[in-house]
A and B are shown apart, each in its own frame.
Chain A
Amino acid sequence: DTAVSQTPKYLVTQMGNDKSIKCEQNLGHDTMYWYKQDSKKFLKIMFSYNNKELIINETVPNRFSPKSPDKAHLNLHINSLELGDSAVYFCASTIASGPNEQFFGPGTRLTVL
């Protein structure tokens, strides 16, 4: 009965590779997000997405792209991985964009060697 799930839990890869992280929510929510948590545990928004609009944080490199096959899924694709991409990535969802609580997945720890 997991609400927001992510796969894989851990991802270790070489510089220059392309990888994807999957996210699924079974809460019936309309809006999903991707966050990056750096080594200092600081959480920063990367993307927010509902079925009408994608909002991209301007600091996110265009090597990162969200893909949503349907309302319950928001996957994160990363091209040409760099050392600085190493972090924990969290997916989250909320009932609708606005001042509503967001529910987070368990995170994916990405390590780029």
Chain B
Amino acid sequence: EDQVTQSPEALRLQEGESSSLNCSYTVSGLRGLFWYRQDPGKGPEFLFTLYSAGEEKEKERLKATLTKKESFLHITAPKPEDSATYLCAVTYGGSQGNLIFGKGTKLSVKP
């Protein structure tokens, strides 16, 4: 059973069409939930860390939220340059500080 599940696997949006990506987790003792952006041929780029339910963080058109079971990455009025794969990862009591990643959501934003 996957510990971190992201949905949808792929999302195609028109420029300006707001939407949300989901990351659900089943681990116990969450210590941190991370969002990364990965462009083709590059390493993951850190976006946000969330530590406790109810926490929210924003950066430009992106807003990340966290509940006890899942996190959402809200994208407001996306632009083509937001196209990338968005990765969610968690650390928890049993992961020894290691990041456990989901399989990502590939976002395409068409002009």
Q: A interface vs B, CB < 8 Å?
A: 4, 31, 33, 40-45, 48, 55, 57, 90, 92, 94, 97-107
Contact = CB atoms under 8 A, between A and B. Distances in A.
Contact of B43 (A31, A41, A42, A104): A104
Q: Is the interface of B mostly helix, strand, loop or mixed?
A: strand
Nearest to B46: A101
A100 to B, nearest CB: 8
Report the interface size class on chain B: 20 to 34
Interface stretch (B20-28, B60-68, B70-78, B97-105): B97-105
Given A101-B46, A102-B99, 10 more contacts: A40-B103, A43-B99, A43-B101, A45-B100, A48-B97, A92-B43, A94-B97, A99-B49, A101-B49, A104-B45
Contacts of A41: 38, 85, 103-104
Given A41-B103, A44-B101, A97 B96 contact: yes
A42 B101 contact: yes
A104 B44 contact: yes
A48 B44 contact: no
29 contacts: A33-B98, A40-B103, A41-B38, A41-B103, A42-B101, A42-B103, A43-B87, A43-B99, A43-B101, A44-B101, A45-B98, A45-B99, A45-B100, A48-B96, A48-B98, A55-B96, A55-B98, A90-B43, A94-B97, A97-B96, A98-B31, A98-B91, A98-B97, A99-B32, A103-B46, A104-B43, A105-B43, A107-B42, A107-B43
Interface of B: 31-32, 34, 36, 38, 41-46, 49, 51, 85, 87, 89, 91, 96-101, 103-104
What are the nearest 7 A-B pairs in CB distance? A99-B32, A104-B43, A97-B97, A99-B31, A43-B101, A45-B98, A101-B46
B96 A102 contact: no
A44 B89 CA distance: 10
B97 A90 contact: no
Nearest to B38: A41
Nearest to B45: A104
